Structure 1
Amino acid sequence: MQSYSLQKRLIVYVSIFSVMLGCVLVFAAYRIALEEMNEILDAQMQSLAERIAANHPEPTRSQINLNQKYSEEDLFVDIWAYADATPQLHPQDVLLLQPVEKPGFYSHQTQSELWRTYILPQENLQIQISQQNSVRQYLALELAANMFIPYAIFLPFALLALGWLIRHNFQPLNNFKSELARRKAQDLSPIHMLDYPVELAPTIQEMNQLFTRISAAQQEQRQFVADAAHELRTPLTALNLQVQILLQQFPHSDALNNLSQGVLRLQHLVNQLLSLAKQDASDSLIENDQTLSLNQMTIACVEQLIQLALQKDIDLGVEQRQELNIHGQSSALHSIIYNLIDNAIKYTPKQGVINVTIFQQEQHAILQIEDSGAGIDPALFNQIRQRFYRIHNHAEIGSGLGLSIVDKATQRLGASLEFSKSASLGGLCVQVKFPMR
């Protein structure tokens, strides 16, 4: 179904209603003016006939052109004696009517139009005052049109003002839309209803209830992942110890070596799931931004992972071109640096090289990690951000969550994550651009 604008539809409907109302007002004004004209001109005709009767009138005939249009001042006086021939014998006397007994107003049709006549019978003669009926209609129409002209002149300005009022009163809807657009994906806090009109209260109340249900569902999901990962750590650690003991007794057993690799992979997966659950939990909390030293956090992560690099005889070096600070959450920054260096160590062959560089580029603090590994096909740069995505030709232990955790953490910090081929080492080059405020 095609969407429509309630605001525009309301303006159009009100405009149409205003025009129709103007037409109704014109018609009503015409009817009222016509009634008023009839009363005034009837009184004028009656007064004229009475004044003529009081002055002993003589028979007379009015001179009239039936094809001519007269004004409201034109009244035609006909006086004829009963002793004269009746009107039927004189067709040229088109305004003369049959004798009547009582004075009053009469309408009769001539060859061209309708006439209104006041007849005042006397003892020996009859006085008739006649007027074109169309004169009254034209006068009433003119008065109604003069009343409508100001309405027609001010109607466009009134519609513009009305449109502004409607848009002004619809502004809370735009504010409501803007508030939702400004919210981050993890912000499920209730919307304050005091800032909006009562018409929006049911919608806001339902949305707040929806936020509550979503928050509860997310919390249950995070709690399940955290509990499952935590509960799995202890038995997996014990299992790994037992496997290592068996390997010492049977060092050449392929089955035990495969089992050991599987246990290590499972341990790594559990640790990554726990890290992901902690990151999701931190998304739902309001964590204030802090001023963080990119250099110190990088050194701390390198110290945590140096033993893994030494086990593979990897040359892990850090180049700090300058001291750089960023604003954000320490947990997110630690996840980015730790997982990127961990991935580099994991996918760099023995006696390889990993270079970690910190420098500034325009208004960004850059963390760059290069390795001498096999690298990644550029066509897969988007896929490796997805959860549980692993490159099939990489046999190293991995869960496919490391880069997904990094990508989500960079979004929290307002940073950008870019992949490319290392020009100096030939492997993967990862750059994280942090905004400097």
Structure 2
Amino acid sequence: MQKRYSLQKRLVIYISLFSVVLGCVLIFAAYRIALEEINEVLDKQMQSLAERISENHPQPLQSQIDLAKQYSEEDLFVDIWSYTDTATSLHLQDVLVAPVRKAGFYKHQTPYGTWLTYIIPGKQLQIQVSQQQNVRQELALELAANMFLPYVLFLPFAVFGLGWMIRKNFQPLNDFKTELASRKAQDLKPIAMKDYPLELEPTIQEMNYLFGRISLAQQEQRQFVADSAHELRTPLTALNLQLQILLQQFPQSESIHNLSQGILRMQHLVNQLLSLAKQDVTEGLSEPVQLLSLNQMTVTCIEELIQLALQKDIDLGVEQQQELLIQGQASALHSIIYNLIDNAIKYSPKDGVINVSIFQQGRQAVLQIEDSGAGIDPAQFNQIRQRFYRIHNHAEIGSGLGLSIVDKATERLGGTLEFSRSTNLSGLCVQVKLPLIEA
């Protein structure tokens, strides 16, 4: 697996290394510049001193030099010696320079280093002003180091500030990531480019094009499902009517009964597909949000489904009821309650019991529906939220879409859907928790 890296860290490291290299270049340049300036100043000083001595009738003079000693840039040594003075020849190997014909600067080596000497030759005498060359180099290095020292001291603060600036300038990328992460799967509206730098504009533009293509594909898919389900309703209804006539004529025919069950299942699937298509379409639209009575909507759904419960002699009733208000879309709340009660009726046995409870829990309104059916294995609680997933040991007519519709509608209302085993009826217990509006 290829190791990933952070662009921010790379920028900080590379720029820090560049700053160090730049500092080394600066100290070298400062050293060279300082050395040139020092040479110019001290050369002028040595030349001026030698010229003043030559103008004032100089007498032989021998400086007291300790060649093993390290002198400073302020130390200049003056030697005036006669060409006829053979004693001075003993010192030529140290600091004195052999007679020259032209005035100027001369370098010569000694056992203790290089010396720089300005010489003015005369008829009888030779005037020399000498200085150790390494004192100039050390002075230039000291000046360069003094110039570089603030740079070294402030470098950690500069790197820290640099890291802060890089993170600050990379903040739009984090904001961009946060915006994408906070979006719901159905939120495909274009990203506003005015909130981001120009460098992100091509990426955002391409993502907006992608969102547009996905939105169009989803719309076509939803429209196809809605059109297909709508077109199937009429022939299925007509076919079911014909089967009912056949059942009246041949009530003992098992094949016709099986065919009737299949048609009922197809009708149920088509109705669920229409409900799902409607939910997908309205999810992207601005359906009005209003105050809804959880109790009133529950009673309405019970009235719509009471005949189904009576056909199986199921005791369907409201066990606990509080007057609670929520905020949301009426179609979403109706879809939740209707599908949950419909599922409870479908999977409850004959002469079963279904209890519906409405109560407050903290700042949430809770709709609880319990049944006396076989229940569901807790390991399947997450799977039953998926579309077209059905429990294999349930032979009742179903499409596997009901709980998926409930899950999406609950999410639209900002609530949560929870499954557990009913402690009172031993079947499935479903709780829908929705944000409560205080009356």
* CA drift at 1:59: 2.0
Q: Which amino acid aligns with 1:143?
A: L
Aligned match of 1:41: 42
| Structure 1 match to 2:311 | 311
Unaligned 5+ segments in structure 2 are none
Q: CA deviation at 1:153?
A: 2.6
Q: Tell whether 2:87 aligns with 1:81.
A: no
- For the residues of structure 1 that align with 2:234 and 2:225, how far apart are their CA atoms? 15
Q: Could you tell me how far 1:93 is from its partner in structure 2?
A: 4.8
Counterparts in 2 of 1:62-73, with a 5 A limit?
62-73=63-74
Question: Residues 391-428 of structure 1, C-alpha deviation per residue, up to 9 Å, x if partnerless?
Answer: 22221111111111111211222212122222222222
Say how many residue pairs are matched. 436
1:271 equivalent in alignment to 2:290: no
CA drift of 1:150 comes to 2.3
Distance 1:380 1:366, change over 3 A: same
Identify the residue that residue 416 of structure 1 maps to in structure 2.
416
Q: 1:136: which partner in 2?
A: 136
Listed as ranges, the gaps of 5+ residues in structure 1 are: none
SS for the counterpart of 1:275 is helix
The equivalent of 1:57 in structure 2 is 58
Cα displacement (A) at 1:323: 0.5
Q: Distance in 1 between matches of 2:206 and 2:355?
A: 52
Partner of 1:17: 18
Q: Is the 8 A contact 1:222 1:277 kept in 2?
A: yes
**Secondary structure at 2:354 match in 1:** strand
Query: What SS does the aligned partner of 1:90 have?
Result: helix
Contact kept, 8 Å, 2:364 with 2:436, in 1: the verdict is yes
Cα drift, residue 222 of structure 1: 0.8
Cα distance, 1:42 vs structure 2: 0.5
1:357: which partner in 2? 357
1:213 is aligned to 213
Query: Is the contact made by 1:86 and 1:98 (CA closer than 8 Å) also made in structure 2?
Result: no
Q: State the alpha-carbon separation in 2 of the partners of residues 47 and 91 from structure 1.
A: 24
1:320 offset after TM fit, Å? 4.6
Using the aligned pairs only, state the percent identity. Answer: 74
The one-letter code of the counterpart of 2:40 is: E
User: Contact 1:295–1:320 at 8 Å: present in 2 too?
Assistant: no
SS at match of 2:358: strand
Per-residue deviation, 1:128: 1.2
Is 1:203 aligned to residue 193 of structure 2?
Answer: no
TM-score (norm 2): 0.95
Moved more, 155-164 or 61-70: 155-164
The 10-residue stretch of structure 1 (4-13 or 388-397) with the greater mean CA deviation from structure 2: 4-13
Output the CA distance in 1 between the equivalents of 2:67 and 2:317: 116
User: Which aligned pairs between 1:87-236 and structure 2 lie closer than 5 A?
Assistant: 89-90=89-90, 93-236=93-236
Match of 2:382 in 1: 382
Letter in 2 for 1:258: N
Q: 1:176 to 1:299 in 2, by over 3 A?
A: same
Specify the SS of the correspondent of 1:55. coil
Check conservation: 2:295, 2:321, Cα contact below 8 A. no
User: Does the CA-based 8 Å contact 2:92-2:98 persist in structure 1?
Assistant: no
Cα distance, 1:167 vs structure 2: 2.3
Q: Provide the secondary structure at the position in 2 that maps to 1:140.
A: helix
| Contact 2:93 2:110 survives alignment (8 Å) | no
Q: 1:298 to 1:147 in 2, by over 3 A?
A: same
Moved more, 27-36 or 161-170: 161-170
For residues 292 and 14 of structure 2, the distance between their equivalents in structure 1, rounded to whole angstroms, comes to 58
Q: Under a length normalisation based on structure 1, what TM-score does the superposition of the two structures give?
A: 0.96
Q: After TM superposition, give the deviation of residue 92 of structure 1 in Å.
A: 6.3
SS at match of 1:227: helix
8 Å contact from structure 1 (residues 325, 436) kept in 2: yes
Q: Give the conservation status (yes or no) of the 8 Å contact 1:301–1:337.
A: yes
Conserved? CA contact 2:232–2:270, under 8 Å: yes
1:170 aligns to what SS in structure 2? helix
One-letter code aligned to 2:401: L
Amino acid at match of 1:357: S
- Partners of 1:340 and 1:403 within 8 A in 2: yes
Does the CA-based 8 Å contact 1:316-1:355 persist in structure 2? yes
Counterparts of 1:292-331 in structure 2, within 5 Å, are 292-331=292-331
For residues 286 and 86 of structure 1, the distance between their equivalents in structure 2, rounded to whole angstroms, comes to: 113
Write the deviation string for residues 359-405 of structure 1: whole angstroms up to 9, x where unpaired. Answer: 11111111111112222222322222222122222211111111111
Q: CA deviation at 1:160?
A: 2.9
Q: Residues 73-108 of structure 1: CA distance to partner in whole angstroms, max 9, x if unpaired?
A: 111112222223397x52565112222111111111
| Local SS of the residue matching 2:25 | helix
Superposed CA offset, 1:329-371 (max 9, x none): 2221111100000011111122221111111111111111111
CA separation of 1:66 and 1:232: change in aligned 2, threshold 3 A: same
One-letter code of the match for 1:410?
T
- How far apart, CA to CA, are the structure 2 residues paired with 1:178 and 1:237? 49
The residue aligned with 2:400 is: 400
Shift of 1:12: 2.3
State the distance in 1 between where 2:59 and 2:93 align.
17
Q: Is structure 2 residue 368 aligned with structure 1 residue 371? A: no
Deviations 1:212-248 (A, max 9, x none): 0111111111111111111111111111111111111
Stretch moving more, 334-343 or 74-83: 74-83
Q: Which amino acid aligns with 2:277?
A: A
CA contact (8 A) 2:419 2:430 kept: yes
CA RMSD of aligned residues (A): 1.7
